[in-house]
Structure 1
Amino acid sequence: MTLLTVGACGAPLVGSGDAGPASPASSTPAAVPSPSAAPEPAPVLSPAKPVPRAVDDPVYELPSTDKLVALTLDDGPDPTHTPAVLALLRKYGIRATFFLVGENAADQPGLVREIAAEGHHLANHTWTHPDLRRLSEAQVRDELARTSDVLQAAAGKPPTWFRAPGGDWSPVALRTSSDLGMRPMGWSVDPRDWARPGTSLITDRVLKAVRPGSIVLNHDGGGDRSQTIAALRAYLPVLIDDGYGFTAPR
């Protein structure tokens, strides 16, 4: 997660241009010695062109060896399921990161403000949840910028994290998110709750895969998320009892 830095190049050394020694005396009248030639002026260098900031690779795990994990929720806000998730997080004192779809956020501005007011991070998950690899650069920028505008209007500050739908990153998406002041976040634990495989399977997949530094992917929008909510109700207290804490990375 370290940004690359570029050092400045030193200017080339310029020769002094001093004149050589005077000619020896001759039988002819001595000439008045000429002063040494002035040093040649240094060449005028054009200002260095700014070096573009390095584009970050997606973050898939936290740089932590402690029992610390990040819980992330995608595809909301949903008027039914997001409040249920918020109630669980409130119960256990957990801060999470919500990767919101812009058009959903625009439809539920009060819910977006509630998420932010409870101390969770609002993050960008595009406007319509498309496959960004199939879009032009202008379309990608529109998807991200419109969503950031809605989230900033709700929270009073722009989002600092971005997640590509499906984790389908593209060079254009990474570059555009960086231009808009966001870093890309992936995940390391995916219980595939979006497919609704059953509460027990979602729970087991999380508990078997989680480790210090994990970023856990769940969904609070995009369909019926009752299994996800039931799984959160089951595995959150288990992780807490096992000594895990939760963070929302800045």
Structure 2
Amino acid sequence: MRSRALLAYALGLVLVLGGCAQPGRVVAVGGPAPSPSTTPAPSPKPTVSPRPTRPPTTGKPVRPLPAKLPAGLRRTTGVRPVALTFDDGPSPTWTPKILDRLRAAKVTATFCLVGREAQRHPELVRRIVREGHQLCNHSWKHNIDLGRLPVAEIRADLVRTNKAIQTAAPGAPIAFYRQPGGRWTPEVVAVAKQLGMRSLHWSVDPQDWAKPPATTIKHRVLAAVRPGSIVLLHDGGGDRAATFAACPAVIADLKRRFGVTRLR
């Protein structure tokens, strides 16, 4: 009798241990075994979006400036007379005064227009064209790092600026593009060319953007100018009283020594 009891006990122990050995199953002595637990399915791998075909709008430079100015820049008139250029306008304060000076001297110039200023003051764009001056795209908001941005962003900026200028003066040609700060890259030169504009640099910079006295501006221009020079001046971007004051003497001297021409 005792042997049968021991044998039954041993068989029960084997059954219990055998149940515990099955993965995912718990056997409780004295009660029914629960259903096997369900193993959760693995989470799906995250989907990786394809890289965009066009660069995103970053507004941050993506390439360094070249060590020297790229090829393709217009830096002289190609003839003996010199050319006057005015940047960063149109300004409701200074552009009309500069235009008055030019009209009184019977000379024309090239105005390098900032797109958002052209949009704000379309009547000045129309006056510039009406009085026979040349138009030049100077970027939408004077971003000196524009040439270092992705090509798609350069193009969008120049197209937007051209649209603002041509909305103000329908049909007026925009022959040139000038990179703010002269921070040229081959990419910005190429985009300007694709849009039908020549890249306009300069050969005389009196640094009137730093607002030196009128006598200093005059001396710097007249000391540096040579036959065919392109002179950089400003009618926008701040107080241009000194540039305005320097204009009569500068223009008179340039007309006497070289002549003043409209860029073509």
Once the two structures are aligned, what percentage of the paired residues are identical?
50
Match of 2:252 among 237, 241, 245: 237
Deviation at 1:119, TM superposition (A): 0.2
CA distance in 2, matches of 1:171, 1:233: 37
User: Conserved in 2, the CA contact under 8 Å of 1:162 and 1:177?
Assistant: yes
Deviation at 1:56, TM superposition (A): 6.2
1:29 equivalent in structure 2: none
Please tell me the root mean square deviation across aligned C-alpha atoms, in Å.
1.4
1:99 equivalent in structure 2: 112
TM-score by length of structure 2 reads 0.70
**Secondary structure in 1 matching 2:263:** coil
1:139 equivalent in structure 2: 153
2:238 equivalent in structure 1: 223
Amino acid at match of 1:138: A
User: Conserved in 2, the CA contact under 8 Å of 1:57 and 1:184?
Assistant: yes
Deviation at 1:247, TM superposition (A): 1.4
CA distance in 1, matches of 2:229, 2:74: 11
Query: Does residue 210 of the first structure (1) align with residue 232 of the second (2)?
Result: no
**Secondary structure in 2 matching 1:75:** strand
2:261 equivalent in structure 1: 247
Deviation at 1:224, TM superposition (A): 0.5
TM-score by length of structure 1 reads 0.74
Amino acid at match of 2:147: R
Amino acid at match of 1:103: R
Match of 2:142 among 114, 118, 129: 129
Q: How does 1:105-120 map to 2 (within 5 A)?
A: 105-120=118-133
2:76 equivalent in structure 1: 61
Task: Determine which structure has the larger helix proportion and give its number.
Answer: 2
Query: Does residue 188 of the first structure (1) align with residue 203 of the second (2)?
Result: yes
CA distance in 2, matches of 1:171, 1:141: 13
CA distance in 2, matches of 1:112, 1:135: 28
CA distance in 2, matches of 1:121, 1:239: 19
CA distance in 2, matches of 1:73, 1:142: 24
CA distance in 1, matches of 2:187, 2:209: 26
